[in-house]
Structure 1
């Protein structure tokens, strides 16, 4: 397993589900009529490092070294390049 799927309800700071497979996550979301976002995260690697490794960060080269030394930036980094799906009342939107 190289990644996991994490579900976040809209406007909530903590995740409510972590799944090894997309179909397991979607079954749970549907069963519970959930609204939120399901995102694929790399295992054993932060999103910032994954984005740099896969060149999906949109950070100018001259700023990359500076940003990589900022804990608040690295710790809060997200990217729309991660595979993700939106759900409304258990249905993929």
Structure 2
């Protein structure tokens, strides 16, 4: 069996923890639509932290000493990750 290189993680709008993780984006989209969910679906790399992925992909550079502290790394997220916002199960439109 092939190992997943990425997964899709759904976080509800008020959640502290993810409510679902999918290998296939299509399955995530069906589930979100079925339950008319509001939140964010984000693609995560498997086997590497978002912090390391961001550095390797050139989306982030360590510039300050705090950028390599445990607290910073443990709370790191990247807007460069592919993600989709949903409201009531449909793609949320960007404000104009």
- How far the C-alpha of 1:11 sits from its partner, in A, is 2.4
Q: Name 1:32's counterpart in structure 2.
A: 35
Q: How far apart are the structure 1 equivalents of 2:66 and 2:33?
A: 42
1:51 partner SS: helix
Q: Name 1:67's counterpart in structure 2.
A: 67
State the TM-score, normalized to the length of structure 2: 0.86
Query: How large is the RMSD of aligned CA atoms in angstroms?
Result: 1.3
State the TM-score, normalized to the length of structure 1: 0.89
- Aligned: 1:3 with 2:1: no
- How far the C-alpha of 1:62 sits from its partner, in A, is 3.7
Q: Name 2:54's counterpart in structure 1.
A: 51
- Aligned: 1:15 with 2:14: no
Q: How far apart are the structure 2 equivalents of 1:80 and 1:62?
A: 18
**Unmatched tracts of structure 2, length 5 or more:** none
